[in-house]
Amino acid sequence: MYLCISGFLIDSAEDDSLKFELDLDTTFNDRILKILDHKSLNEMARGEWLLTTEQAQKIALLINQELPNDLKLFIGVEA
């Protein structure tokens, strides 16, 4: 299992299509779980979670990759 970040327009009334997707390397799983205050991937697998600006910034620093700040970002578990 791995984590995936998805991005959608902030005002998705007219366009709710996926605008950004990033599969995260599994080596980051434990550290990302701590950032999100989740205990396990199984706990997170119940759905997608909206990232706060602070969480997105911490994850971007951790993975050393910029994340879009003009989208609603969600994170979820993929198999």
Q: Strands across the sheet with 2-9, in order?
A: 20-23, 2-9, 71-78, 49-50
- Please answer whether residues 28 and 3 qualify as being in contact, where contact means their C-beta atoms are separated by less than 8 angstroms: yes
Q: Return the exposure string of 23-32: e unless at least 16 CB atoms fall within 10 Å of the residue's CB, then b.
A: ebeeeebeeb
Per-block mean pLDDT, blocks of 10 residues, the chain (79 long): 94 86 97 95 92 98 97 95
What kind of fold does domain 2-78 have according to CATH? Chitinase A; domain 3 (3.10.50)
Cut 0.75: pTM above it: yes
Token pair in block for residue 40: 């396990």
Per-residue model confidence (pLDDT) at position 11: 83
**Domain boundaries in the chain?**
2-78
